[in-house]
């Protein structure tokens, strides 16, 4: 009569597959060239800036909805930098505070400080400018507005931007037909780069273009060309999407713009007229916050609403910055740049050391308890925690490199809390094995049947922890999200460890004489398990086949 036996399993194959995946992850980390996780603002430092909204309506108050919208746009810009643990918060009724780790102040100010008032204007005159500053990284001071230029220049628009498409096209035709006067030409000859000039969207503009930088201080020292521009023919709101990259078959970076329906129509009419003009009248200037970012020549009429900004001096940094600012739109408010500081670690290396010590103490207590209570099985606990630590470290490094995840002190706390979750999984499994052994089953059978019952509880417990982490991540902001993320990540790693390492490891160990026969100090001896006797695996009998000879 045949007896039922547990289904055959291959724990060795499972362990080999697990270690292959672990080795591949480690090799990926080594080949990436980054061997340490990114640290958050509270551990590694970064930049904090304060933006103060300016009231332009004369009402004396800032619209809370506009401030909230500006905060959302700035947050999108910060996230596009690829950093983690950044915070963008509203302070008071007129300030936005931005804190970003691992980013220099110049780059952050360029990204979030600009109001992104994009305009397309016709070019009427240009003139080369010689840089006089010896050190191009040192900005020259902005002089006062010359009286002969500023005295008769409007500082407020004389038109209202129409919302009706037909009226907007009529205004477009008016601005396309604008011609500079003799006074405009004379003032342009006297204009010097760096002189503030009233930027009014429906008035002519005198401004300059600098090389490869969106930073105001760098602009003042690197002017290359000055321009006399007409009124705005297309406003930046007509740009629906911006992107950057190196097109196939080209060597330089470009920024591509896609216009909305009205913008496509106006841009098609503008390029159709400009393409027949001679230089510089065949150019249009892309103006961002009063500065010319690019002044391309019109080589053909563009009627499909897709334009491309290119140039030999455009780098990856300048292309990315311009595309990001344009892609997330203009801020609904004008902001004054307040405090800008490169902050050191707010909690410092001492706090990091204290956190690591706390985690180490907790880890040692878990290991000591497991050795004291589970004896030889404590080796499985130590091995599981060691492998889980390696896997967690590698994943944090890879996520930091690929997604910009930065480990903060709350995030470190999430990893430490996960030690308890991992310990819970061990306790559930081992206690189930003890229960099965007390019922008289052999150790090998107790391991398999105990696992069948324990894994359901482990899955439910980890699912609750994972759900809590997900909800906390969705509902929280800033550093609390870091805690929730690392807690959820550690919970997933715990599930992978218990299924693909801990369980196969125990299945292999109980095949040995020390664990399989419940030797003393193995943790599986009958006295320690609380069972009067523990069945030993019976030796297999060889069945002789009749007529078969050696």
Q: Which residues pair with 306 in a beta bridge?
A: 258
Q: How far is CA 284 from the centre of its chain?
A: 35
For strands 284-288 and 118-128, give the pairing. antiparallel
pLDDT confidence of 544, banded at 50, 70, 90? very low
Contact, 124 vs 229, CB < 8 A?
yes
pLDDT confidence of 511, banded at 50, 70, 90? confident
Contact, 331 vs 116, CB < 8 A?
yes
- Looking at the chain, how many residues does it have? 550
Q: At residue 93, does pLDDT exceed 90?
A: no
Cis peptide bond upstream of 280, omega within 30: yes
How confident is the model over 262-268, as a mean pLDDT? 92
pLDDT confidence of 310, banded at 50, 70, 90? confident
pLDDT of residue 130: 61
Judged by average pLDDT, the poorest of 35-49, 188-202, 435-449 is 35-49
What radius of gyration do the chain's Cα atoms show?
A: 34
Output the DSSP codes for 96-138.
Answer: EEEEEET--HHHHHHHHS----EEEEEEEEEEE-----SSTTS
pLDDT of residue 281: 92
pLDDT of residue 143: 34
Q: How far is CA 210 from the centre of its chain?
A: 29
Structural domains of the chain sorted by starting position, each given as residue range(s) with its CATH number in brackets: 11-40+348-529 (1.20.1640.10), 46-114+331-343 (3.30.70.3400), 116-320 (no CATH)
Q: At residue 172, does pLDDT exceed 70?
A: yes
For strands 118-128 and 95-101, give the pairing. unpaired
Judged by average pLDDT, the poorest of 69-73, 260-264, 384-388, 406-410 is 69-73
Contact, 266 vs 258, CB < 8 A?
no
Contact, 74 vs 98, CB < 8 A?
yes
pLDDT confidence of 133, banded at 50, 70, 90? very low
More confident residue, 103 or 122: 122
Tabulate helix, strand, coil % of the chain (nearest 5): 50, 15, 35
Closest to 282 in 3D by CA, of 292, 272, 291: 272
Q: Using CA atoms, how far apart are residues 434 and 446, in angstroms rounded to an integer?
A: 8
pLDDT of residue 211: 52
Judged by average pLDDT, the poorest of 64-68, 156-160, 243-247, 308-312 is 308-312
Q: Using CA atoms, how far apart are residues 360 and 355, in angstroms rounded to an integer?
A: 9
What residues contact 28, with CB distance under 8 A and at least 6 apart? 398
How confident is the model over 449-473, as a mean pLDDT? 90
Q: Which residues pair with 285 in a beta bridge?
A: 121
Neighbours of 524 (CB within 10 A): 28
How confident is the model over 65-71, as a mean pLDDT? 77
Q: Using CA atoms, how far apart are residues 267 and 301, in angstroms rounded to an integer?
A: 9
Q: At residue 178, does pLDDT exceed 90?
A: yes
Structure tokens at 53: 């909204």
pLDDT of residue 345: 58
Closest to 535 in 3D by CA, of 516, 507, 513, 512: 516
312: helix, strand or coil: coil
Q: How far is CA 488 from the centre of its chain?
A: 18
Provide the percentage of residues in the chain whose pLDDT is more than 70.
77
pLDDT digits (tens, 9 = 90+) for 210-225: 554 444 444 444 567 8
* Averaged confidence pLDDT in the chain: 77
Q: Which residues pair with 50 in a beta bridge?
A: 97
Q: At residue 8, does pLDDT exceed 60?
A: no
How confident is the model over 345-358, as a mean pLDDT? 68
How confident is the model over 377-390, as a mean pLDDT? 87
């Amino acid at each position: 009569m045949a007896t039922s036996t547990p289904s055959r399993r291959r724990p060795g194959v499972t362990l080999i597959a697990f270690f292959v995946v672990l080795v591949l992850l480690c090799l990926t980390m080594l080949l990436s060239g980054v061997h340490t996780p990114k640290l958050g603002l509270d551990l590694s430092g970064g930049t904090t800036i304060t933006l103060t909204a300016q009231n332009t309506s004369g009402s004396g108050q800032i619209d809370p909805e506009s401030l909230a919208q500006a905060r959302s746009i700035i947050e999108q810009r910060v996230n596009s930098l690829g950093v983690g643990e950044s915070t963008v918060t509203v302070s008071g009724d007129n300030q936005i505070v931005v804190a970003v780790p691992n980013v220099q102040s110049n780059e952050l100010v360029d990204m979030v400080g600009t109001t992104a008032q994009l305009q397309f204007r016709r070019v009427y005159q240009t003139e080369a400018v010689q840089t006089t500053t010896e050190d191009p990284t040192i900005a020259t001071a902005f002089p006062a507005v010359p009286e002969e230029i500023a005295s008769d220049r409007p500082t407020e628009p004389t038109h209202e931007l129409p919302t009706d498409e037909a009226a907007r096209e009529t205004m477009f035709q008016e601005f396309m037909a604008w011609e500079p006067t003799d006074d405009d030409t004379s003032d342009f000859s006297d204009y010097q780069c760096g002189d503030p000039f009233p930027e009014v969207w429906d008035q002519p503009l005198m401004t300059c273009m600098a090389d490869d930088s969106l930073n105001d201080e760098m602009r003042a020292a690197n002017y290359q060309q000055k321009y006399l521009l007409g009124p705005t023919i297309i406003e930046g709101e007509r740009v629906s999407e911006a992107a950057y990259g190196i097109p196939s078959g080209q060597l330089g970076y470009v920024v591509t713009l896609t216009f909305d329906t009205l913008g496509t129509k106006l841009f098609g009419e503008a390029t159709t007229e400009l393409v027949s003009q001679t230089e510089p009248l065949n150019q249009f200037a892309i103006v961002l916050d009063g500065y010319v970012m690019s002044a391309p020549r019109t080589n053909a009429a563009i009627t499909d609403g897709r334009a491309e900004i290119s140039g030999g001096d455009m780098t990856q940094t300048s292309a990315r910055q311009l595309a990001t600012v344009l892609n997330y739109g203009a801020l609904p408010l004008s902001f004054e740049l307040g405090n800008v500081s490169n902050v050191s670690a707010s909690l410092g290396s001492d706090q990091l050391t204290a956190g690591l010590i706390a985690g180490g103490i907790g880890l040692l207590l878990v290991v000591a308890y497991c050795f004291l209570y589970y004896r030889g099985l404590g080796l499985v606990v130590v091995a599981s925690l060691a492998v889980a630590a390696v896997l967690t470290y590698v994943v944090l490094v890879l996520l930091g490199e690929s997604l910009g995840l930065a480990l903060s002190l709350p995030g470190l706390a999430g990893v430490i809390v996960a030690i308890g979750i991992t310990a819970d999984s061990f306790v559930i499994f081992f206690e189930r094995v003890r229960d099965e052994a007390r019922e008289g089953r052999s150790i090998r059978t107790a391991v398999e049947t105990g696992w069948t019952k324990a894994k359901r509880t482990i899955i439910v417990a980890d699912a609750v922890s994972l759900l809590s982490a997900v909800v906390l991540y969705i509902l929280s902001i800033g550093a609390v999200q870091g805690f929730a993320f690392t807690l959820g990540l550690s919970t997933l790693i715990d599930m992978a460890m218990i299924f693909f390492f801990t369980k196969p490891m125990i299945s292999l160990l109980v095949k040995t004489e020390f664990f399989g026969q419940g030797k003393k100090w193995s943790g599986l001896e009958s006295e320690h398990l609380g069972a009067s006797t523990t069945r030993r695996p019976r030796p297999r009998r060889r069945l002789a086949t009749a007529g078969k000879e050696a």
